[in-house]
């Protein structure tokens, strides 16, 4: 099995399957190569299962071209402000701004000054999932954390938020 070793000042070893389906072993500087090999062998089942899952995801979602990315950006700019306006009015909150980013690891964020950002990649999901992200970020205007009160706020407007949230997972 091919894998990359990244050594650092950490104390334990860890495995990672990257976005592009590569296996990375994070290891302490002092770890012997034989110890790393044993670690990888011991976790062979986990690695194979997660690699297969990631490779299936990559086959179902091939990388986008620049034209496709710009199309998503245009859709986001046209669609999301209307959804934010709709939900903000229902929730009684006011974001200070809306931004579209090309973030890959998070679909939305809310700054401390209540400016909301959305990833253009959010536009690849159903409208129900998009509305969940919009409500989630607007709820951060009232609750700057993921406390039970925060999720109660989200549930007040989207009682089925867990189902919608699950749509966003690979």
The closest alpha carbon to 22, from 37, 36, 39, 6, belongs to 6
Q: Which two tokens stand for residue 42?
A: 């011991």
Region 1-9 average pLDDT: 95
Q: What is the predicted pLDDT for the residue at 167?
A: 93
* Cross-strand pairs, 17: 23
Q: What is the predicted pLDDT for the residue at 127?
A: 97
* Cα separation values, 127 from 86, 113, 167, Å: 13, 26, 10
Give residue-wise pLDDT tens across range 12-68. Answer: 999 999 988 999 999 999 999 999 999 999 999 999 999 999 999 888 878 899 999
Contact 96, 112 (CB under 8 A): no
pLDDT at position 169 over 90: no
Contact 100, 118 (CB under 8 A): yes
Q: Where are the domains of the chain?
A: 4-60, 66-166
How far apart, in whole angstroms, are the C-alpha atoms of residue 153 and residue 130? 17
Return the DSSP state at 144. Answer: S
Give residue-wise pLDDT tens across range 155-168. Answer: 999 999 999 999 99
| CATH number for the domain whose boundaries are 66-166 | 3.30.2010.10
pTM of the model: 0.77
């Amino acid at each position: 099995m091919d894998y990359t070793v990244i050594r650092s000042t950490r104390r334990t070893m860890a495995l990672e399957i990257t976005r592009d389906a590569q296996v990375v072993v994070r290891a302490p500087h002092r770890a012997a190569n034989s110890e790393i090999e044993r670690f990888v062998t011991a976790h062979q089942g986990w690695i194979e299962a997660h690699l297969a899952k990631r490779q299936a995801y990559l086959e179902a979602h091939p990388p986008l071209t620049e034209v496709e990315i710009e199309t998503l950006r245009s859709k986001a700019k046209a669609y999301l402000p209307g959804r934010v306006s709709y939900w903000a009015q229902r929730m009684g909150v006011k974001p200070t701004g809306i931004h579209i980013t090309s973030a890959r690891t998070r679909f939305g964020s809310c700054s401390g000054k209540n400016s909301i950002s959305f990833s253009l990649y959010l536009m690849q999901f159903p409208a129900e999932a998009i509305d969940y992200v919009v409500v989630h970020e607007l709820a951060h205007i009232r609750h700057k954390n993921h406390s039970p009160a925060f999720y109660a706020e989200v549930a007040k407007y989207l009682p089925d938020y867990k189902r919608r949230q699950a749509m966003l997972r690979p």
